[in-house]
Every structure is written in C-alpha cells, then in structure tokens.
Amino acid sequence: MKKRIRQVAFVLGILISCCLLGGCEGEDKHNVSITLIHAWGGTEKDHAEMRDIYAEFQKEYPEIDLQIISMPTSEEMMRKVEDMVMVGNVPDIISFSGVGENCLYDFLVENDMALDIQPYIERDNDFSQSISDVNREYWKTKNGELYSVSDVLMLSGGYWYNEDILNAAGIEQVPKSWDEFQMMCNQISDWALKEGTEITALQPAAEGYLYCIDHMLSGSEQARTKGQQFVYQEEEFTTAINQLKQLYSLSVSKTPEYSYRDETNLFNEGKLAIYINGVWSAPMISDDINAKYALLPSCTEKTVSCESSGLGYVLGKSGNEERQEAAVSFLKYMLSKDVQLQILERTEQIPANPDVSVELYKENKDKLYQAVSLVLEADEKIEVPSNIWSLEQKNYFTESIFDLLAGTISVQEFEENIKMK
C-alpha cells in the first residue's frame, strides 16, 4: 500500500511539475504587450474586416500580445485617448483614421508623448519604401520628424452619380463649371417633377458641402490655404457660401443629424441622382445602382481632386524599447504588401504602399477603379478638408452649415465664428 501511495505521489508530482512548466511557458508566449486603440468598432462590413485584419497581427507576431480597444466612432475614440493620457496611460498605437490634425495630436507631439518614426525608417529600407510620398510631404515636420504613418490614401474631390437617372433627364456629359453643375441639378429636378418621381438631384450631408466649398475656393491659393491651413478671405468665402445656397435650394431641408449614411441610403434606393463623397464610399454603393464617379467643378480650366494622407497611426513614446519596437512592427505589418492587398480587397480603401496597384482589381472592382483613376489623373491636387481646416473650424462648419443655408443664422455670424476658430 505504501509503495502504491509513493507511486501515485510520484506521478502527481510529475503532473504538477508539467502543469507548472506549461503555465510558465504560456506566460512567456508573449515577450511584450502593447495596446492599440481604433475607431473601427462600428457595425459596417469594412469595420468588421479591419478588426479582423488587426486581430490577424497576432498570428504573424506571436511574441507580441496586442491588446485591442475598439471604439465605434472617431469622436469616442479621441475622448477615450484623452482620458487615458490624463492618467498617464498613453496607448502604444493610436489609429486616428484620417481625422486630420487636432489638439490631441498636437498635445502628444508637443509633450514628447509621440514616437518619432523617422529613425526606424532610416534603418529599414523596406519599411521606408512602404510609406507613401504624400504621407511624408504632409506629416513630416520642419525638423524632419515623422509622427504619423497612414496605411491608406485619401482620394476624393468628386461625387458619385446614377448614370441611369442622368440619361433619363437628358444629361449628356458631366459639368466642368459650377454654373453647369447648377444647370444639371436644375434639369434633373425639372425632369423628376415632370415624371412625378421622388428623385432628388442632390442631398449633400454637411461633409459634402465642405468638399464643395474647398473646390469653390481652389482657384485662389491664398483664399484656400496657407501653410496647409484654411485662411479666411471675405470676398471669396462669401461668394462660395452663396454658391452653396444655390445648391441647397434644390435640396430638402436637413439637419446636422443627417449624415453620409442617410445620403448613401437615398442613393442606393434610387432616390438621389448625385451623391457627394470620396472614392472610399465605393463599397457602400449597391450593385443595383449604375454608379460612376465625376470630379467636382473647379474655378479654373484645370481638373482638381484630393489626394492626401490623413492622420494615421501615432505611436506612444513609452520609453520602453521593447514596446516601441513592437508598435513599429505593427506599422510594418499594416504596410506590408500582403496586408495592403487585404485592405484593398476586403475594405476597398486605397493602399498607401506604392508597391500595391489598383490595376489588380480593374475587372472585379470596376466602380472603385474608375473613381481612383479619375482622381489620380486630375491636373491639380488639393488636400482633403481634414488637412485644410482646423478641427474646430471643421466641426463648426459641419454643425452649423444647415442653419446657415436655411437662414437660421446669418452669413456674417457664420463667417465671424469661422474666423474665430
């Protein structure tokens, strides 16, 4: 009996030792743990795909434990980051998803909380070549630091149109000037009234009016930007506002709660002829709609589009080399050719890596290809609104533009508030 007890005890000892060793081995599986916070927490298909792409990083780098915090919107993400920063817990990776320069980004850079990625680029040629030129041009500081790297390009400056509706209304070609654009909208409205349909020529969300005014001001560089920021010029700005009012007169009155999602739904239901949004909205358009992309008019004879790199991934400067290297590994992963192809295939965003060509999808992503080609072939490029207007100006514009267009506030009050932001 005693011998049997000793044998059992011996076996149990071995099992316990194995369990302990296994437990230690499990703990050592990840050499370093880092945190990623992003705003891809919504219910849309592209949001789910991006979350999956983030999660798949773990397979490529099993030694890194990626803790992911998903927020449904950029606004909620930024509030969460601000809360974390206030208690000294800066995330290792912040995905700003193109929101544009803002107070939070400035605070991180000015207080030495953001990691300068330039030294890592200089010692890794493959990493360097995966970063877009427009990213470097816009986000590199005067001193040569680079605190933001985006995995996608922002291509816009145009609108989608339902070709079947335009053909039915007798529109033979897309307009090249704002006067012609107004005439096209009038012609669609007259046709819809005559036919007794519920079709509206256009119904822009607040962001759409922001795109329009940038193009209306693009003929005068001084009126539009100075050092990549919006500069208020009374005469040009007032003229552009009056042009927006003419477009608004063809629309049904809306409020700031009306968003691009509402506009998308109207377009997909065949109730909207013109849908103002960027190239990235291609996957949101129904296959039942015969949609094509056209550039917004400019105030010159040249075609104008937006090709930019918005605020992308900003890495926290923790002082811990292992965590910082792990965060840089995440950037390399997101910019690698394989992942960039997945971003294009699964979300129809435009990859930032210059080595990835949309020509690969010329046949099975025809809407996207047509829109991208048009934007890239434009004579001149301007920044997207997020890179031109301060966050405060942009927020005020989108929150107040419907009040201005409806006459609830005066042009003078609107202009004064813009100047103060």
Domain of 226: which CATH number?
Answer: 3.40.190.10
Is there a single domain that holds both residue 174 and residue 255? Answer: yes
Mean pLDDT of the chain: 88
Identify the weakest region by mean pLDDT among 66-70, 337-341, 365-369, 385-389. 385-389
pLDDT per position as a tens digit, 40-74: 999 988 999 999 999 999 999 999 999 999 999 99
Tell whether 147 is covered by a domain.
yes
Is there a single domain that holds both residue 399 and residue 268? Answer: yes
Is there a single domain that holds both residue 122 and residue 78? Answer: yes
Write down the residue that tokens 């966050």 correspond to. Answer: 391
Do 271 and 198 form a contact (C-beta atoms < 8 A)? yes
Is there a single domain that holds both residue 37 and residue 149? Answer: yes
CA–CA dist 161, 230 (Å, integer): 29
Tell whether 8 is covered by a domain.
no
Is there a single domain that holds both residue 95 and residue 166? Answer: no
Is there a single domain that holds both residue 271 and residue 410? Answer: yes
Tell whether 370 is covered by a domain.
no
Amino acid 226: pLDDT: 41
* The last residue of a domain, from among 317, 342, 360: 360
Which residue type is seen at 384?
V
Is there a single domain that holds both residue 267 and residue 394? Answer: yes
Q: At how many degrees (to 10) do helices 206-217 and 260-268 cross?
A: 100
**What is the span of the domain harbouring residue 87?**
29-153+309-360
Is there a single domain that holds both residue 331 and residue 415? Answer: no
Tell whether 210 is covered by a domain.
yes
Q: How many domains does the chain have?
A: 2
Tell whether 366 is covered by a domain.
no
CA–CA dist 366, 45 (Å, integer): 19
Tell whether 384 is covered by a domain.
no
Query: Would you call 35 helix, strand, or coil by DSSP?
Result: strand
Pure H helices in 56-197? 57-60, 74-86, 103-110, 118-122, 125-129, 133-139, 163-168, 178-195
Q: Confidence class of residue 22 from pLDDT cuts 50, 70 and 90?
A: very low
Tell whether 182 is covered by a domain.
yes
Residue 12: pLDDT over 60: no
Amino acid 9: pLDDT: 40
Q: Confidence class of residue 230 from pLDDT cuts 50, 70 and 90?
A: low
Where is pLDDT greater, at 22 or 174? Answer: 174
Is there a single domain that holds both residue 253 and residue 164? Answer: yes
Where is pLDDT greater, at 328 or 389? Answer: 328
Bridge partner residues of 153 (DSSP): 350
Is there a single domain that holds both residue 35 and residue 143? Answer: yes
Where is pLDDT greater, at 23 or 290? Answer: 290
CA–CA dist 137, 65 (Å, integer): 33
pLDDT per position as a tens digit, 80-108: 999 999 999 999 999 999 887 788 999 99
CA 133 to mean position of chain CA atoms = 17
Amino acid 231: pLDDT: 57
Amino acid 369: pLDDT: 93
- Phi, psi (degrees; rounded to nearest 5) at 140: -75, 135
* pTM listed for this prediction: 0.82
Is there a single domain that holds both residue 46 and residue 110? Answer: yes
Amino acid 418: pLDDT: 86
Residue 356: pLDDT over 50: yes
Tell whether 288 is covered by a domain.
no
Residue 2: pLDDT over 90: no
pLDDT per position as a tens digit, 298-321: 888 889 999 889 999 999 999 999
Amino acid 232: pLDDT: 58
Is there a single domain that holds both residue 239 and residue 320? Answer: no
